[in-house]
Chain A
């Protein structure tokens, strides 16, 4: 069974803390994505990666960075968390130039106090 695993389902952090959100997929997918989901705004793409050590900015990259050291792992980093980064974060992966089906993780709900 294919799987995208996000390391933390729920996190509570304080303003200014550094936050790591980890995502691992076991499907040997080249493409990986980080979205955030907010009420009334839907899913918005933060960053994506088409290969190891490669990254591209999505629609809302400000305040975030990513790391793709291994094919199966794509990390989202909040260098200095702020309250407006409280959100549900969703990781996804897919094959390159494939059918386009994104496989999603269960999500990580981050609260920044």
Chain B
């Protein structure tokens, strides 16, 4: 099955700083999904990327999928304490758009 590797595993930043989280796949990505999770809660959908070179933004969060469709990055500009949580990338295994494999997650802490 598809394997997703996220880096870093954890990240501590000062409020206002920019940061980047990476997600690398062992196989070509048919679709790449970013989710955020508050500790002990369910996952909240952030963005989905499908095309090589695609980039999407929502508020201060930007996600990109590289041309080869094997790596994605999530960038947060001017981080805030509300950005804290676990960020997970998920990959569509077969192009059906239904079954996702997830990375281990990146724990983000934003210090005020």
The verdict on A59 contacting chain B, using a C-beta distance below 8 Å, is yes
Report the Cα distance A103→B98, complex, angstroms: 11
Chain B's closest residue to A33 (CB) is: B99
- Contact indicator per residue, chain B 18-56, by CB within 8 Å of chain A (1) or not (0): 000000000000010101000011111100100000000
B99 touching A105, Cβ below 8 Å: no
With an 8 Å Cβ cutoff, the count of chain A residues facing the other chain is 29
- Judged by a CB distance under 8 angstroms, whether A101 is at the interface is yes
- Verify if B88 is at the interface (C-beta below 8 Å from A): yes
Q: Is the pair B98, A43 in contact by a Cβ cutoff of 8 Å?
A: no
**A45 interfacial by beta-carbon distance below 8 Å:** yes
CB distance from B79 to the nearest CB of A (A): 23
Asked whether B102 lies within 8 Å of A103 as measured between CB atoms, the reply is: no
Q: Which residues of B contact A41 (CB under 8 A)?
A: 104
Contact pick for B104, options A40, A88, A103, A107, CB 8 Å: A40
Chain A, range 72-113, C-beta contacts under 8 Å to B: 88, 90, 92, 94, 96-107, 109
Q: Which A residues are CB-close (under 8 A) to B99?
A: 33, 45, 48
Q: How far is the CA of A5 from the CA of B90 in the complex (A)?
A: 21
For the complex formed, measure the closest distance between the CB of A19 and the CB atoms of chain B, giving whole angstroms.
Answer: 19
Q: Given A59-B1, A90-B43, A105-B42, are A100 and B92 also a contact pair (CB < 8 Å)?
A: yes
Q: In A17-64, which residues have CB < 8 Å from any B CB?
A: 31, 33, 35, 40-43, 45, 48, 50, 59
In the complex, how many angstroms separate the beta carbon of B107 from the nearest chain A beta carbon? 10
CB contacts (< 8 Å) of A43 on chain B: these are 88, 90, 102
- Chain A residues close to B by CB (< 8 Å): 4, 31, 33, 35, 40-43, 45, 48, 50, 59, 88, 90, 92, 94, 96-107, 109
20 A-B residue pairs with CB within 8 Å: A33-B99, A40-B104, A42-B103, A42-B105, A90-B42, A90-B43, A94-B97, A97-B96, A97-B97, A100-B48, A100-B98, A101-B33, A101-B48, A102-B100, A103-B45, A104-B42, A104-B44, A107-B40, A107-B41, A109-B40
